[in-house]
Amino acid sequence: MLLADVVAASAAVAANRSRTAKAQAIAAALRAAAAGEVPGEVGPVAAWLAGELPQGRVGVGWRTLAKAAPAAAAAPSLTVAAVDAALTGLAGTAGSGSAARREALLAELLAAATDDEQRFLVRLVGGELRQGALEGVVLDAVAAAAGVPAPVVRRAMMLAGRLDETAALALGGGQDALSTVGLRVGRPVRPMLASPGSSLDAALADLGAEVTVEHKLDGARIQVHRDGDEVRVWTRTLREVTGGVPELVERVRALPCRTAVLDGETLALDDDGRPRAFQDTMSRFGSDGADASDEAAVLLSPFLFDVLHLDGRDLLDEPLAVRLDALAGLLAGAEHAPLRMPGVRRPTPEQAAAVLDEALTAGHEGVVVKALDSPYAAGRRGRAWQKVKPVHTLDLVVLGAEWGYGRRTGTLSNIWLGARDPDGGEPVMVGKTFKGMTDELLDWQTRTFPAHARAEHSWGVELEPGLVVEIALDGAQRSTRYPGGVALRFARVLRYRPDKTAGQADDLEAVRALLAGG
């Protein structure tokens, strides 16, 4: 199969607003890959059309991508297999002189690509392939292309943990092949996610009395597997971090079990037991993060809230109530009790409110309300788990906007956000966002922003500091990327504020006040 066919499918996906139409376009590409003469192309095609690389990180950043800009090929010739092999070569390049070798490999790949293929590859490798086809759409397409029920595909994906492998199994062997995928200690499972709840009362009304209400921490999601003395730890994205978190390994190795698969969160605490800044926790998970043996490293505390396997028994299909009983038994000893995520089962509304107050008073984000009859299901945010936390809002100045990709091509989409300088200078940039925008708002921005432009560029516009927008966000974190030393977390647009001037926007100190642990 030619790369050009995948690029054409990507363009068709980006041009369609309908989820069904997107899935149909991807399914057609997957069938073509499966019908080709070269084996092994289904997996890469599925991953690429979800904007992912099967190889994960390939060691190429935007600076390298910007350098590698050879003249494009006149006609398409690259095959899926050849591109996948080249990306595998990039990912495997390490050691002395590896940067130069990566640049050469990347230049060779791009030189064989047409203009459209080059743009596709640069955005794919750079993690910027926004075409409106997230993992869920691709899984629907896999199900359609293979002729198997979507729940079967999603379950196999949850247990296999890899989109490319799941697609290859589905197209190669159908439902029989997918049904062979089971939970295996040592292979991470896709985590179950919580949907946002509008309020604690609304979540309780939705899920009823048979719930548990637990603290929602501002930490890092972890999944821990134990097989005898071997303990391995993965992050939310299924990146293994075992070597960097020895204190977590030690705590799980001390538990009274032989095999286990545990779900939870971890975070750094200060001497008073309050959460430290979010980035103190995340510093332990970066590629250049601190090792626990470093004097300056912060120690991580684990908080477990689920168990998917225990001593030979798979539990993920059991109701949450059964899983919590198993977890409680595992952590019954006083020495293991601190590992349990705080919470209350079957609380009264007053007790649930007390749990929320307790979490917020302790410096945490809020609570998660979980239905006790729910099995462990990954792949989409269902209503069985609902997270409830206060929503922060800020009025910020729009400093610029970038042209959109995919369905947003032709509109000014990704806006630059600035906080007022309390000392009276120019607004200070604290983040960007393209979330929360309706089609009408995108059209309004595209019509309005040029009249406020300070400078125009190929990527978008810089604006005079006059327009104020109300932003919802989950908090702030320290950042070296922006001049104020702080960045917004999960910012999304609520509305513009024509009633406010830039001088009435929130200032940098208001943003800094949202720093976790600050």
185 in any annotated domain: no
Q: Are 72 and 118 in contact (CB under 8 A)?
A: yes
Residue 187 belongs to a domain = no
28 shares its domain with 94: yes
How much is the pLDDT for 7? 96
Q: DSSP 3-state assignment of 295? A: coil
What DSSP string describes 354-410? HHHHHHHHTT--EEEEEETT-----SS--SSEEEE-PPEEEEEEEEEEEE--GGGTT
Residue 392: per-residue pLDDT: 82
- Residue 29, helix vs strand vs coil: helix
517: in domain: no
> What phi, psi does 354 have (nearest 5°)?
-65, -35
Place of tokens 């590698």: 68
If you average pLDDT over residues 378-396, what whole number do you get?
81
Asked, for residue 189, whether it belongs to a domain, the answer is: no
Q: Which of 22, 216, 370, 389 is catalytic?
A: 216
Does residue 17 have a pLDDT over 90?
no
- What range defines the domain where residue 422 resides? 392-512
- Among 358, 387, 416, residue at a domain's last position: 387
pLDDT (0 to 100) of residue 381: 63
264/243 Cα distance (integer angstroms)? 18
Judged by DSSP in three states, 315 sits in coil
Q: Is the dihedral of CA 463, 468, 474, 475 positive or negative?
A: positive
What is the C-alpha to C-alpha distance for residues 242 and 443, in angstroms, rounded to an integer? 47
pLDDT tier for residue 319 given thresholds of 50, 70 and 90: very high
Lowest mean pLDDT among 288-302, 316-330, 460-474: 288-302
Give the least confident one: 244-253, 364-373, 399-408, 422-431: 422-431
Average pLDDT value for residue range 318-337: 94
Can you give the pLDDT at residue 516?
Answer: 59
User: What pLDDT was estimated at residue 51?
Assistant: 86
- My answer on whether 236 and 363 are in the same domain is yes
For residue 161, name the pLDDT band (cuts at 50, 70, 90).
Answer: confident
Instruction: Decide if 518 is inside a domain.
Output: no
When pLDDT is averaged across residues 278-300 and rounded to a whole number, the result is 66
- Average pLDDT taken over every residue of the chain: 89
Comparing 88-102, 153-167, 292-306, the range with the smallest average pLDDT is: 292-306
pLDDT at 132 over 80: no
* Structure confidence at residue 102 as a pLDDT band (50, 70, 90): confident
Residue 184 belongs to some domain of the structure? no
| Same domain assignment for residues 240 and 175 | no
CA-based R_g, the chain, Å: 24
pLDDT number for residue 290:
46
Same domain, 334 and 277: yes
Check residue 288 and give its pLDDT: 42
Which pLDDT value is given to residue 289?
Answer: 42
Note whether 445 and 486 are same-domain residues: yes
Same domain, 421 and 367: no
Residue 37 has pLDDT above 60, yes or no: yes
Quick one: 348 and 485 in the same domain? no
First to last CA, the chain: 53
Residue 459 lies in a domain: yes
More confident residue, 474 or 345: 345
Active site residue 435: no
pLDDT of residue 19: 83
Q: Would you state the pLDDT for residue 131?
A: 67
For residues 226 and 239, state if they share a domain: yes
Note whether 240 and 304 are same-domain residues. Answer: yes
pLDDT confidence bin for 303, thresholds 50/70/90:
very high
Give mean pLDDT, residues 107-123. Answer: 92
Looking at 28-42, 90-104, 146-160, 404-418, which range is the least confident one? Answer: 90-104
Whether residues 382 and 290 share a domain: the answer is: yes
Do residue 235 and residue 218 come from a single domain? Answer: yes
What's the pLDDT tens digit per position in 168-218? 999 999 999 999 999 999 999 989 988 878 789 999 999 999 999 999 998
> What is the pLDDT at residue 424?
65
Q: What is the CATH number of the domain that holds 104?
A: 1.10.3260.10
- Tell me: do 34 and 53 sit in the same domain: yes
The CATH number of the domain where 490 resides is what? 2.40.50.140
Q: Is there a domain that residue 376 lies in?
A: yes
Phi-psi region of 485 (alpha: psi -120 to 50; beta: other; left: phi over 0): left
For the segment 35-51, the average pLDDT, to the nearest whole number, is 92
Q: How many domains does the chain have?
A: 3
